[in-house]
Structure formats: structure tokens, C-alpha cells
Chain A
Amino acid sequence: MSKNDTIGSIDRLLRFSTGVFTLSFSLILLVFVLWIALTSLGYSPSARLFPLIVSIVTLALLTVVVLTNAENLSGKTLIPDRLQSGKSASAESPTEELIKKRRSIVQIFGWIAAVLVLTYVVGMDFALFAFLLTYYRYQAELSWVRSAATAVGLWLFLVGIFAFVLDVPFPEGILVELLLG
């Protein structure tokens, strides 16, 4: 799959109605709670009592939420009005502004993922500096000088407070561990 295909796929995904995202989120929560409930059955009676009670109640509530969202998407009546979990998200196609907002959410997830990967590979001190510098330069579109100055200042603040004052070691990456043996 080429880069353009990937971007195109993501863009198509972002054009789903808000209702689809809302329904998907509530379904994910429902599946999680269902998993907890089913897993509970494998524990001793005392260990499963509380989680089972809570998961059954939460399942019931999330079912109402899912049905409310599904009703809005399908246009069919699935549950009585008084049980509905509030005004549901729109089933209409999103506006360009909303799509732009969703793209920015994907962007920030990308930045966070990049920091995590860099932290794991080369260590947090380098990862944070690289993140700060590239973010301010390419995302916030500051000049190289301002980006570098801001990144250095913030990095020194973080290292100063956490590493020196609070004596918190930053995680080393696997590359550093390999090099040091």
C-alpha cells in the first residue's frame, strides 16, 4: 500500500458521521465490560462477586447507550424515549471543519506515538528534545532559532527539575542498553 493509499484510507475514515464514532466508542466500552463479566466467572465466588455486580449494571447502562446511538443512526425506534441516554451524535456527514479537526486529532496521536517509539528506542531525554524541536519547528511553524531556543529551554527545565532536583532517572532506550551492554 503506497503512502497516498494510506492517507486516502485515513481520510475516508475521517469522513464517517459523528454517530458512527460515537456508536463505535460505546461498543468498545461494552465489549470491555462484557469481557470483564465473562472473565469474572472463572474466579472464586468472593473474588468475582463485586466485579460481576458492577459489570452487569454497567453492561445494562452501556446497552442503553449503544441502543440510543444505534437508534439515531438507523432512524428506527429501539428503546423508549425515557430510557434514552441523551441526545445522540449526528448521523449526518461531517462538515469540512469537523474533518479538519479529526485530522488534527490523528496528527497529535502521530506525535505521541513518535515520542513513545523514540523513547523506547533511544531514551526519553533524546526523545523529548527531538519532539520539542520538531514540533515547534514543523507543527507550530516557529523559526529554527525560536524552535531551538524553546526546545532547549523546556528540555533544560524538565531535566533540571526531574533528573537533578527530584532525582528521577529518564528511561534509557533499548539502543543505549545494547550499546552499553
Chain B
Amino acid sequence: MLGILTDFIAVVISLFSWPLFGFVLLGTLIGLVFGSVPGLGGPVAIALLIPASFGMDTTTALVLFGSTLGGVAFGGSASAILVNIPGTAPNAATCLDGYPMTKNGRAGEALGVSATASAVGAVFGIFVLLAILPFSRELLLLFRPANYFWIAIIGLVTVASVSRGNFIKGIASGGLGLLISFIGFSNLHGTYRYGLGTQYLYDGIQLLPIVIGTFAIAEAIRLFSSSDQSIVDEVNYESSGILKGVYFVLVHPIQVLRSSLIGVLTGVIPAAGGAMANFVAYMQAKEGSSDPDSFGKGNPSGVLASEASNDAKDGGSLLPTVLFGIPGSATMAVLLGAFLIHGITPGRSILTEDLPLLLALIAALLVSNLLTSLIGLSVANQLVKLTKMDSNLLVPPILAVSLVGAFAARNNFGDILAAVLFGIVGFALIAHNFSRIPLILGVILGPLTEQYFFQALQFSNQGALIFVNDWISIVLILVLIVVGLFIARQRGGEDLTSIREEV
């Protein structure tokens, strides 16, 4: 672990050199803006940045992505606190006490609590991640293709079952993603599948247009169709309250650590993401408080719990994403797509030869979270103005960047059409309560899962027994059974946090 820590510190120091620091600042600002505007957030930011990152070397691209992730969280909390509009779903619980504090004239204090708790939570999450990485690396070295096959299956089933909407639709969405991934020429089988004989589909549908369409274009359509102008009052706050908020966090270290731990643990659960971390930490803080009735009326502990967990979750959700290619949230699903587009494969290689790249991403996330707290406090008032913007005005730039970005990868007009098609599909999935994350995961994992399956068979003289004849496979099968039992116990109804947009 000491080796990884030493390498990590060296990478952090290198981030303060030019031009890398410029990209850290740029990503932080992009994240702050996208986090502030409801409906945008991490997935759209990363999806739109992917084509822009083609001209960069991989380290710089990952620094940009990591910094953007770091900026998104605080952008969302500023609008949650100042105008009761969470910029992203993981900031929703911050509204519960943050906005009442603003109404009581304690906006500065709330922002101070948020900024400090976010920074501490982020640091905690990242160091937990770094602590686990060496053990994960040793564990992954034991994995064989058959084990990776089961990991992929578990990932698909788990993501589908805990994503928004009904689990049957979630698994169906994952299945659709897998089937889409099979389109094109298969090197494994030497067969051109489902391409209708077209030249465009020979290489399959590329991941970039699918990601851009499903997240960015779909969001643009959704923003247009539900466009309204948020009516918010002008809010100004006194900066003197900020220090009071900082002090509050520093004198409640146990609560910060507890909320951060909740964030990390819930972040690890595939597709649970920050929204769950946010509320679980908030409820825990309320139940453990000596004055639970004050929650919801402007108790800074509510803001502390929500924000510490929200930022700690990034460290947690990176873990299944980089180890197994199972995203911990929608943002991680898009980030996973970005990894693959840049030639980085989750699993063993990202913990060995690509480890410096991973450390660059994590370092950028850390530095950005710290910078965000400083920058965000000084520009919070300006960020909030973004929530007043008519969302109609955001649609053209999102569409324009999406279309150019889709074209940028291969200079192929077909990719633009594919992006638009998946934009329509993505919007339809949202409207009819199918989750998009299993779809993206299916597209990503499809070729890998098939490859692991046939590799396992190829290098074995035991036939199908190769999938059940070692302890790792047996453990993974047991995990799959437990997940299956959990799903079976669930009713077939909607999950409580699903939001159905009627069309």
C-alpha cells in the first residue's frame, strides 16, 4: 500500500504543474456549471467531454474527467442550498436543511458546511479506495476468464435490479444492451452478425455515439419537452457565515466520518449512486441526533451528512467501476465508456500497467474536490443564476456539441445518425421507466462477457465445468444466487425513488 500511496502523492504533486493544472481548473469549472443546472450533471458532462478529449493524451483526458467529477457535486449543492433546487439527484437531501438555513439568513454557514464536508468526504472516500486497491490487485491476479464471466453476469443483474424503475425492465434493458453489442463482425467467431449487410454496421455500433445519444441527446430532448423557467428569488449571503460553517464541520469529526463511510459503502453498490448515499446518511444523522425534530428546519448536521456522503461516494463507486467494469452510478457508467474509448480496460490491466492512469484520475478527483470547495464558495451566487436560465436555451449547445462529438471519433456521418437514434431511444427509455444504465453496461460488457465465456472454454479440457470448479466461481455464483433471491423477494412494482416521466 505504501508503494501506491507514494506514487499517488507524486501524481498529485505533478497535477500542480502546467498544463495539467489548467485542465484541473477547466474540469472543475465545467463540473461546477453542469452540476448547478438541473438535468445536466455528471453523465452529460462526461459524455460531452469524451469527443473533446480525443486530441489529448490519455493522462490529460483522465485528469479532465476526474476534475469534472469533482466539480459536479458542489455545483449541485450550491443550488440546493440557495434556491432549493438540487443540481443533481445526489444533492437532493441537502435541500432539506440547506434551504431552510438560507431562509433563516444562514446561507453562508450552510455553504461553509457543505464545502468543508464535501472536501473531507472526498478525501476519505479516495483514501479508502487507495487502501483497498493493493488488496484488489492481488485478488484480481487470481481471477481467470471464467471468473470474469460470472462478474459480468453479476454486474448486469445487480445494476438492473437496483437501477431506477422496475427490475424486469432493468434486466430487459441490460439484455437489449448486450444484443446491441453483438451487432457487427465478431473476431471471435469470424462472423458478421445482425448488420443487414451494411458497411456501417460491419464494425458494430460504436460506443461513443451510443453514450452521447443515450445521455446527452436524450437529456436535450427531455429538457426541451419539459422546459420551464425556474422562478427563484435573488439570494445573497454574507461570507462571514462561511467560517462558522467550516468550524461546525471541524468540531463534528465523528459525524463527518460516519457519513463519509456511508457514502463509500453505498457508492460501492452498483447503480445505487449518490442519491441513495445522500438520503441514507441524512436519515442516519437524524436518527442519531439528540434533536431529530430540528432536522428539516435548518440543522447544519443535515447538510453535513448529505454532503460528506455525496462526495465520499465517488471513491466508493470508482471501486466496482475500475475493478470489474460495473459502474457504481450513471456517471460511472459514462466514465466507463470513456475508459474503453481511450483504450483502458477495467480489471487487471488498470491495476497494473495502467495504474498510473488510474492514479491520475483519482488525484484529479481529489484536487478538484478541494478546489471546488474554495472556488465554489466564491462563485456560488453566480452559479445559482444558472438555475434561473430557461432550459430551452441549453438545448442547442448540447445538441450541437453532441452531433459534432459523435462525428469526431471516426469522421463518419453514420455515427451522427446513430447518436440521434440512441438519443430517441434513450429518451423513450426514460419516458417509459426503463433504466439506461443497464443498457450502457450491456453494450460495454457484451463483447467482454462473450469473450470470457469462450476463452474459459478454449483453455479448459473440462468443458462447461470450468465455470464451477474453483472457489472464486463458487463464491460468485453464491453472490448471484443471493442477488437473485433479493430480486425475487421484491415486488414487481416501481421502486420508491423512481421518477416516471409521462409521455
Binding site for B on A (CB under 8 A): 18, 21-22, 25-26, 29, 32-33, 36, 39-40, 43-44, 46-47, 50-51, 54-55, 57-58, 61-62, 64-65, 81-87, 89-90, 98, 101-102, 104-105, 107-109, 111-112, 115-116, 119-120, 124, 128, 131-132, 135-136, 139-140, 154, 158, 161-162, 165-171
Contacts and interface: CB of A to CB of B under 8 A. Distances in A.
B433 A86 contact: yes
B392 interface: yes
B492 A86 contact: yes
A135 B396 contact: yes
A98 B168 CA distance: 27
Interface string B453-485: 110000000000000000000000000000000
A83 B493 CA distance: 9
Contacts, number: 178
B400 interface: yes
Contacts of B13: none
B172 A58 contact: yes
Given A36-B194, A154-B400, A158-B401, A108 B179 contact: no
A132 B413 CA distance: 20
B169 A33 contact: no
B403 A58 contact: no
Interface string B423-463: 11001100111000000000000000110011000000000
A171 B413 contact: yes
Contacts of A102: 225, 503
Q: What secondary structure prevails in chain A residues at the interface with B?
A: helix
Given A101-B226, A169-B411, A140 B393 contact: yes
A82 B491 CA distance: 6
B503 A101 contact: yes
B129 to A, nearest CB: 31
Contact of B193 (A29, A47, A108): A47
Contacts of A111: 399
Contacts of B375: none
B344 to A, nearest CB: 20
Q: What secondary structure prevails in chain B residues at the interface with A?
A: helix
Contacts of B186: 47
Contacts of A128: 400, 403-404
Contacts of A140: 390, 392-393
A33 B432 CA distance: 18
Residue of A26, A47, A86 ringed by the most chain B CB atoms within 10 A: A86
A161 B182 contact: no
Residue of B172, B217, B226, B423 ringed by the most chain A CB atoms within 10 A: B172
B237 interface: no
A33 B176 contact: yes
Interface of B: 51-52, 54-55, 165-166, 168-169, 171-172, 175-176, 178-179, 182, 186, 188-189, 191, 193-194, 217, 220-221, 224-227, 390, 392-393, 395-397, 399-401, 403-404, 407-408, 411, 413, 416-417, 420, 423-424, 427-428, 431-433, 449-450, 453-454, 491-494, 500, 502-503
Given A51-B194, A65-B168, A166-B54, 15 more contacts: A21-B431, A46-B454, A50-B182, A58-B176, A61-B172, A84-B492, A85-B492, A86-B494, A124-B407, A131-B399, A131-B400, A140-B390, A154-B400, A166-B51, A166-B52
Contacts of A165: 55
B375 to A, nearest CB: 22
A108 B225 contact: yes
A51 to B, nearest CB: 5
A55 B179 contact: yes
A158 B400 contact: yes
A36 B179 contact: yes
A18 B396 contact: no
10 contacts: A21-B432, A55-B179, A61-B172, A65-B172, A86-B433, A105-B224, A115-B399, A161-B52, A166-B52, A170-B404
Contact of A47 (B189, B395, B401, B423): B189
